[in-house]
Amino acid sequence: MDKQYSIADARHHLASIVHEVEQGQPARLTRRGKAVAVLISEADYQQLLGHEKADLWTSIEDFRRTHRLDKMPFSDEDFAGLRDQDSGREFEWES
């Protein structure tokens, strides 16, 4: 969280701060140099409350955004042979 505003500054620039927060950039509010509150978007707030039910693709995008898979200390070879090669049990459809 890079943005920090005194309460007095926030009062004068509330519209632009809210716009930044809506874009996903939280803002910290300070009083006499000490952090006292954080402004977050409604979407982030709902997510914190657990009310937001993301679909699968949104969850995948969030995971990719927060985890750099290209920086992980493993490769495709680490997963070789992990898949069960068994064809499963015998099965026939009933007529």
With a threshold of 0.75, does the pTM exceed it? no
CA separation for the pair 9, 94 (Å, rounded): 74
Model pLDDT for residues 8-45, shown as the tens digit of each residue: 999 999 999 999 999 989 999 999 999 999 999 988 88
Class of domain 3-70 as given by CATH: alpha beta
Can you read off the two tokens belonging to residue 23? 């874009």
How many angstroms separate the CA atoms of 46 and 42, rounded? 6
Strand order in the sheet with 34-39: 3-6, 27-31, 34-39
Q: Give domain limits for the chain.
A: 3-70
Beta strands in the chain (DSSP E): 3-6, 27-31, 34-39
- Name the DSSP letter for residue 13: T
Other beta carbons less than 10 A from residue 10's beta carbon: 19
